[in-house]
Structure 1
């Protein structure tokens, strides 16, 4: 009898431990809160670029990939890399992801905590603007999928994410990609958050929201960034 009770206790404890681990892994659950560090994959995030002319399509040199962080950072840590040459002086490189399991047509007050690797000094000089101080991080959410649309030979988003360092209806400014003043061009991890200014978004009638994270650039040159963690919580 004692042996049977001991086995049952061990099994019960193991099941509780597994259940707790699963509950803490919010990246695998539908809805919000949400968090990913991209160690297992892209977790449904889709990369794209907008705000440039059709004639500039090939010269933008946009690319994205799931890859390790750049040296001297921990190269075994996975991230989502986004890169482009800003020929339009207004390029918007972004990531989007659909979350489900929310209440339909409900307002959610959201806080984004974003960790990314940048190598650009905040007060650096560049064509059109600073590579660090004039590339702005934005985040938001909407009930419709953010899509790149072609209108009058120009690619723009179908939602209002604002222009460069200005807020829009569907996204707000979190800061820039600068790593600090007078810094050497070496990749460092930085965090950007809207904890002091939560963003309100309304889910659609299916209980879905599309999350949006990106950079609105005023620097007319090559920008390469690595997103290492995205966390979205309900305020």
Structure 2
């Protein structure tokens, strides 16, 4: 039986043999340590997840870009641009990325992508983990107006029951574009929970700007979403900027892992 102790022979200083006993718990601990050392994961596996992923390097995409976090009157001066483009040098220009940019006159602009997915169980609550990979030219440790051009531009992601989209607060020249899903509850709490990392790459500020690929991954339960009766949900990812300048990114890969 597993609960019986097992005996092995251990040689002592007098070359005699005495039994050395391992308990069941000791053996279980050794097995667990061995599995961890060899890279096995006892609690988490892709086999337990429903995965949605996009490789922007080689695929056309149905991801829809949009922007929030700026005044209506500034819209024509934000220098918005987006779409599939070849990756910039020194990266492999034979591969594509999803290019998105804005000039952050508001010190709060969000550059976002959204997509509706299906194939999940209807009326079911899932936890979601995200992985986002992108090309960024912003070095670490630089100063900038409003914030650092790397560290102050936060990567964010969320899953939602409703379509993420801009809503307008106030009217006329005072109108301001907000993100609807952020303002369905505590807006600051939502934002802090949505953050995955920032866009600063591995170069130091004195090394200058040069595009590198960076990947950020969230925790296992970064977001929680309940599907509708058709097993659908919305995904959204992008950045929120505290740097009052232009940011240019090329997204190359996105993954969302859904677990019940």
Q: After the TM superposition, which residues 133-212 of structure 1 pair with which residues of structure 2 at under 5 Å, given as runs?
A: 133-152=151-170, 153-160=175-182, 167-168=189-190, 172-180=194-202, 181-182=204-205, 183-195=207-219, 197-212=221-236
| Alpha-carbon distance, 1:172 to partner | 1.2
Q: What TM-score results when the alignment is normalised by the length of structure 1?
A: 0.80
| Alpha-carbon distance, 1:206 to partner | 2.6
2:100 corresponds to which of 71, 79, 82: 82
- How many residue pairs get matched? 202
Work out the CA distance in 2 between the residues paired with 1:198 and 1:52.
Answer: 26
RMSD over aligned CA atoms reads: 2.2
Work out the CA distance in 2 between the residues paired with 1:190 and 1:107.
Answer: 30
Work out the CA distance in 1 between the residues paired with 2:193 and 2:159.
Answer: 7
- Post-superposition Cα deviations, 1:120-178, rounded to whole Å, max 9, x if no partner, equal 1121111111100100000111011001122211111111189xxx6517961101000
4+ long deviations beyond 2 Å: 180-184, 195-199
* Partner residue, 2:64: 46
Q: What TM-score results when the alignment is normalised by the length of structure 2?
A: 0.73
* Larger-Rg structure: 2
Please list every run of 5 or more consecutive structure 1 residues that lacks an aligned counterpart in the other structure.
Answer: 1-30
Work out the CA distance in 2 between the residues paired with 1:228 and 1:167.
Answer: 28
**CA spacing shift, 1:161–1:113, aligned 2, 3 Å:** farther
| Alpha-carbon distance, 1:76 to partner | 1.2
Contact 1:167 1:173 in 2 (8 A): no
Work out the CA distance in 2 between the residues paired with 1:151 and 1:113.
Answer: 31
* Partner residue, 2:41: none
Please list every run of 5 or more consecutive structure 2 residues that lacks an aligned counterpart in the other structure.
Answer: 1-48
Q: After the TM superposition, which residues 87-98 of structure 1 pair with which residues of structure 2 at under 5 Å, given as runs?
A: 87-98=105-116
Contact 2:194 2:222 in 1 (8 A): no
Work out the CA distance in 1 between the residues paired with 2:189 and 2:129.
Answer: 15
2:252 corresponds to which of 222, 228, 234: 228
